[in-house]
Amino acid sequence: MPDQGCAHIDAIDKVKQAKRRECEDCVKIGARWVHLRTCQACGGTRCCDDSPNRHATKHARGTGHPVISSAEPDERWLYCYPDDAFTDY
Ligand SMILES: [Zn+2]
Ligand SMILES: [Zn+2]
Ligand SMILES: [Zn+2]
C-alpha cells in the first residue's frame, strides 16, 4: 500500500471483499442504499454516505473500525475515517 501517513491502511495486506452485495443494516429495516462499503476490520458491508441511512459511517463511528473499502465492483479504493485518508489499491 502507498504511504499516505495512515498506519491503518498500511496495516492492510489483503483487502476484504463484500460477502454479500447488500447493506446488512438496511436489509434488517427494509431500507434502500446507493453504494456499498466493506469494513476492513470485521468484513461487514454497509451503505455509503449518499444512502439515506449512512450505515458504513455509523458503523465506523460506533465501533472505531477505521478503514472501509468500496464494495462497488468497478471501484478499488480504501478510506480511513480517523486519518481522512483515501487511497487506490
Ligand atoms: Zn488511518
Ligand atoms: Zn444501510
Ligand atoms: Zn467493522
pLDDT tens for the 89 residues of the chain, in order? 455 589 999 999 999 999 999 999 999 999 999 999 999 999 999 999 999 999 999 999 999 999 999 999 999 999 999 999 999 99
pLDDT of residue 41: 98
pLDDT of residue 38: 98
3-state helix, strand, coil split of the chain in percent (to 5) is 20, 20, 55
pLDDT of residue 83: 96
Q: Is-contact 56 67, C-beta < 8 A? A: no
pLDDT of residue 5: 80
Ligand 2 centroid distance, CA of 52 (Å): 8
22 phi/psi in degrees, rounded to 5: -155, 155
Ligand 3 centroid distance, CA of 44 (Å): 6
- Which DSSP state fits 73? T
